[in-house]
Structures are given as C-alpha cells and as structure tokens.
Structure 1
Amino acid sequence: MPEPRFWIGVASRDHVRRGVGEGFAQLNHGKARALERMRAGDGLIYYSPVERFGEREPCQRFTAIGRVVGEVYRVDAGGGFRPYRSDVAFFAEAREVPIRPLLEALDFIHDARRWGYAFRFGHLEIGREDFERIARAMLGAPPAF
C-alpha cells in the first residue's frame, strides 16, 4: 500500500459541516481535479476562512479532519449543479481550532504575516509533520496512518 499523503481543503464552515454530516469532501466548487489527486487512505483537514459561503464573517479555523475512504464520483445536487465528491471518514471527536496560534509552527506557512496566501488555490498538499501538528490540536493526538 502506498504511503498516505496529507491535504488541506478550503471551504466555508457551513459547507464543511454539510460534508462532515454526509461523509463527503467537495473542493473548489465541485471541480474534480483536487479530489483526483487524493486516494483512499490519505488524510484531509478542512480550513474554513469564513463562516458561510458567499459572506465575509471570518472563521479562520481548521474545522474538520478525516481520512479519504473512497474514489471520486459525481452527484446531481440539483439545479444543474453536478459536483465531484469523495467519501471521507471524519473524526467525530475533532474540535475546531483557530489557525493563528499554529502559524509559526506550520512548515507550509512560509510567511506568518501573509499566511492566507497558502490557501489561495482551495487545496494544498502538506507534509505529515504539519498534518500531525494540526491533528494534535484538533484531536489531542494524531491518528494512525
């Protein structure tokens, strides 16, 4: 089995909560490309810059963590919207954590003054060490991968 990879997906908190409740990940407004880079066994953490999609109320927290368990598939979400998704087993015991206290410790943040730049593409691959740092804050200990 190949070594797992670790990812951060960016989505509003309300969208993350829906995905957690239904057990799926959806990235970049339903485009397939980001999800196609992931495979079953990979770790996924969601970062939510805002509370609700289309609004400006800041959230700036890591809001969910889980393990990818399925392949990419497409769904009919109604109104002609057909997003791509992957199934994810989210850790129900995870707590949301603010990003700011972690900024100096995260290797993927190259400049703590411009930390939002890292999230500009809606998803990114991170190292195991950063995944474990965030997982420790969310779960108390990193999950086994």
Structure 2
Amino acid sequence: MANNDAGEGVVMQVMKHYCQVETCEANLDGAKKYHKRHKVCQVHAKAPIVLLAGLKQRFCQQCSKFHELSEFDGTKKSCRLRLDGHNKRRRKTPLPIELEDNQCRLINGEARPHMDMTLSSRNTIYTADISG
C-alpha cells in the first residue's frame, strides 16, 4: 500500500493471468504478452485437442481463439475460414493469354522460361512462337 500527500491509502491491484483451458492452472504472469493477451498457455496454444466449455477445441493461430475441431482440416493449426482467406490473399491471379496466328502473347510482361521469347514493338509485351 502506497500513501499519497493527503494521507489516504492507495491500493494497487495486481492482475493474475491464468490459462482459460479447463483443469489448466498455468500462471501466465511470467509468460509472453501474446499468451497473456489470449489467456492461453504455450502448451494449450499448440495442443491438437483441448477441453474448453465442455467441447473439444483447438487454438487457431490466425484468429487467436479456440474453435471446435470441426472447423479445422486435419491437424492444421488455423481454422478453415481464416486459412481460406489467407490463401486467397497469397494466391497470384493467372496471367491473361491471347492466342493469335500460332503466337502466344503474355500480357503482364511475364515470360515462361521454356519458350523462345522476343520483345514486341508495343510497350513491354512478350511474344513467343509456339508452332511446333
């Protein structure tokens, strides 16, 4: 207890952090901020199955929340919904291709290494002769 100038007592409350998993009594006071913030110990953050609220669940690395096992594919650590969004952001869009008189023109300046490429006179469009 610390005293201020007026002589009144000031009480400092210390917050204790514990893992939210049933039967886990891991004190998170010395744990990383991530584990404190999400109220999960390192063991249960990586566990394939955890009992929480009477349900078998797993901690999702993308959401930082527990989900039922049915929301995961196999032994993946991210739920299907978040993993799908993550993959869509990472996936590259296919290049548009125009076929014209036995020539293949790749529009975005991308060239396939197995083709014989020559620079076209228009902007930076590459062409390749694909006739046998």
Of Structure 1 and Structure 2, which has the larger fraction of its residues in helix?
1
TM-score, normalised to structure 1, is: 0.19
Higher relative CO (Cα under 8 Å, sequence separation at least 6) belongs to 1
Of Structure 1 and Structure 2, which has the larger fraction of its residues in strand?
1
Larger-Rg structure: 2
